[in-house]
Structure 1
């Protein structure tokens, strides 16, 4: 019988001890004696390097400091939540006053009184250092929720207030539109009465001996009206062709601030008037045509031409007298006013421009609108040379100080922005329609102010 001698340490337990030592790094582990007993020895140096064994538990003082901080944060959260509630209630109180809402005012008042009492209690707790909270974390979360609800309520009230103000403004706009329409109707009625009384009407039975400034003013109004009609058509054509109207207006009148976006049309009117009225003081708009006729004969000549053209369509007159002075005037002004590049951009080709340049006058809407404007200005020119002394034209220069005697403003906004001092008094940005003198009578020029 073979006997086997047992080792002093069980191999399995010895391996367990070594494995435990490697995992936890707590020093050498030795097992002595029986299988049920294991002795562990820990080195002092390795224990000093072990983070698990070295971790310190919070002391009572540290616990108290953390809790005190949490209590203070909870107190501040309650304070800000209460203030937000007061702010929301005050917003509701303001909103309920206009339009008047008695229930809304009473509800807001109760909330404000309640929150002011709550704030007073918080103040007393702070002064007496009684900020004890059984659960400061829960209190802080609850207070933050209350604050967010109050902020949301404030925004809702402000949104309602803005909606109400928008409706009020829309109502005011509707009312003003109705007043404007009523004023326009009254103006048209008054204009008809003035025309019927002969004060503004363009008389059919006008005589050379009976000319008066009112006749000239009546035809000037028609001329300005035809200029603006042509400018509207020109702007419409430019928009359809993809022009940058802002850039075009700036190129005509640079460094000008326009009070309203639609005021840019005055820059185009200024450009058209400058071209069309250029040379107005000369017979037939040219210094080369200075008449050698005596004054009376020249007056009669221009008056006869005025009477011949005033009742005829411009297209018919051009077809009837293609070599007349009026035809020459139309040709010259059209070629100066409408550049070939503009013509090509608006119509896609130069056929119309070439026709006018060759002395032909196409019956297309754009040229017919121009011809109507040209006729009105030509009639005004003929009428001016029918007066004795003849009517003279005048312009005002840029940066001139506004004068009510010689100028009519097209931008009254300039007066609203002025404080009345000489430095800030409105000045001329550019002239739109020229002015005229008939003896001692002055017809104001129209200007755009800044």
Structure 2
């Protein structure tokens, strides 16, 4: 009887297994637990270990993220403070003098690039010089560079005494110190290229138009020339911002042609040439304008006629 019962039960088990197999083929998500209790327990333990490891990793990453966010907050706060003028900031004459020297050096570099470019495109420099400052007797042929430097500087500094640098559509700043520190922290080349509506960008474009430099149809296509112009514009823009911080604002002046030389208000731009003993040296033209800071005079640099070589 036992054997007969076993024989009867065996097909039933096979039938059940066959049904389970067919169902599992129809439903791929169907899972049949053929494992023993010990295997299930081991799998549960393994999954718990993995979950614990993931939880540990999550906590560590969350902590690192918190530290990074805290560090970014400190950096942002530090950057904001660095862009603000120091407490009790007051403009200093020596700072203005230093920035003026930088502006003059940048103007010299640009003028040198301008002359080189004019030579390449076939300009007659003597004719161009006489057009810029006619009827001036030069002590040396190479001194025509001072005429071009004068043309550049007087054009770039035009409007310096106004709040908005005579820039149409720009009323000036209510916080020149903030604009000064902000401009120091930027790249002027990127600003002019990427932000054409910024006041500095408009200033650069406007000054180029005022100088009427026709040596190149597309001035930005000559990298050295373009870089020199933008750097010069940036240094003069900064100088203007600093000048507006003084009370009263720094005044600017230039010397007219034919005026007698004065050591108080003027400096001979050609250091190798001195005033004649009879004192007949006169101003041929102003090369770099002078400035008045209260009662202090920053001498204008002038080219003199009627001078002699000190060699």
Alignment of 1:408-447 (within 5 A): 408-412=267-271, 415=274, 418-420=276-278, 424-447=279-302
CA contact (8 A) 2:85 2:177 kept: no
2:98 alignment partner in structure 1:
218
Any gaps of 5 or more consecutive residues in structure 1? 1-203, 344-349, 354-360
Aligned length: 222
Residues 382-421 of structure 1 mapped to structure 2, 5 A cutoff: 382-412=241-271, 415=274, 418-420=276-278
2:204 to 320, 326, 330: 330
Q: Is the 8 A contact 2:288 2:302 kept in 1?
A: yes
CA 1:385–1:264 in structure 2 vs 1: closer, same or farther (change >3 Å)? same
Partner of 1:129: none
- Aligned ranges 1:184-195 → 2 under 5 Å: none
CA shift at 1:411, angstroms? 3.0
SS at match of 2:130: helix
Question: What TM-score, normalized to structure 1?
Answer: 0.46
SS in 1 for 2:258: coil
SS of the residue corresponding to residue 283 of structure 1 reads coil
SS at match of 1:336: helix
2:146 to 256, 260, 266: 266
Relative to structure 1, is the Cα distance of residues 244 and 372 closer, same or farther in structure 2, using a 3 angstrom cutoff? same
Say whether 1:276 aligns with 2:156: yes
Question: Does 2:224 match 1:365?
Answer: yes
Q: Which has the larger radius of gyration?
A: 1
Q: Is the 8 A contact 2:85 2:178 kept in 1?
A: no
Higher helix share: 1
Quote the offset at 1:245 in angstroms: 1.1
- Output the CA distance in 2 between the equivalents of 1:249 and 1:392: 28
Partner of 2:34: none
- The match for 2:185 among 301, 304, 311 is 311
Pairwise CA RMSD of aligned residues? 2.4
1:255 equivalent in alignment to 2:129? no
Deviation per CA, 1:26-81: give whole Å up to 9, x if none.
xxxxxxxxxxxxxxxxxxxxxxxxxxxxxxxxxxxxxxxxxxxxxxxxxxxxxxxx
Structure 2 contact 84–178 (Cα < 8 Å) conserved:
no
**Greater relative CO, 1 or 2 (CA 8 Å, sep 6+):** 2
Structure 2: gaps of 5 or more residues: 1-82, 306-311
Distance 1:281 1:439 in 2: 14
Q: How does 1:54-73 map to 2 (within 5 A)?
A: none
What whole-Å deviation, never above 9, does each CA across 1:307-334 have from its counterpart, x for those lacking one? 1112322111224432111111001011
Higher strand share goes to which structure?
2
Distance in 2 between residues matched to 1:206 and 1:438, nearest whole Å = 21
SS at structure 1 position matched to 2:161: coil
TM-score by length of 2: 0.66
Per-residue CA deviation, residues 203-244 of structure 1 (Å, 9 max, x unaligned), is x99746231100100000000000000000111111111211
